[in-house]
Chains A and B, each alone.
Chain A
């Protein structure tokens, strides 16, 4: 499977704990995006990288959220001190600047209890 891969697919955590999601983009895609989706809403943009540089961050990305893409390949999204409002599906997507169609992974579901 050469699509966008996200892990873990499901995570249940207690309020106040930290969680980390990993995304492996399609091979050779230099752009990587993170989105969040809550029930009944469309996906909301959080941030994106071109290679290892984080080029844009939404105001939705509070200081408890941090995303990294250290070698320009996989990316991690960490949420510190989770709150119940963080419960959502976190989507990763990737594209290439020369072929800009964006492809999504299957998402990582977070439930904060």
Chain B
């Protein structure tokens, strides 16, 4: 069955520190991969996506993610966190073809200490 696992429910980092949010997926083939961010009371905004090609993808707000096929992972990173990055982050997978729907992980809530 298709699934997405975000093992960290909560993460707290200090402003200026580096960040890595983990995402593992289970899928029959290489899916399309996404990271979304949700600020309180808001909808989900796309940070970045991976379809094919270079396994290191750059997104908005200084975020990047690396696709590792051997580990079925798509971890999100940021070298220096800003207080405004405090939000909930969702990893998602989508099928490249056929019945196309997006499966989301349970999310990681990021807290940033001043």
Answer whether A and B are interacting partners.
no
Interface residues of B (CB under 8 A from A): none
Interface residues of A (CB under 8 A from B): none
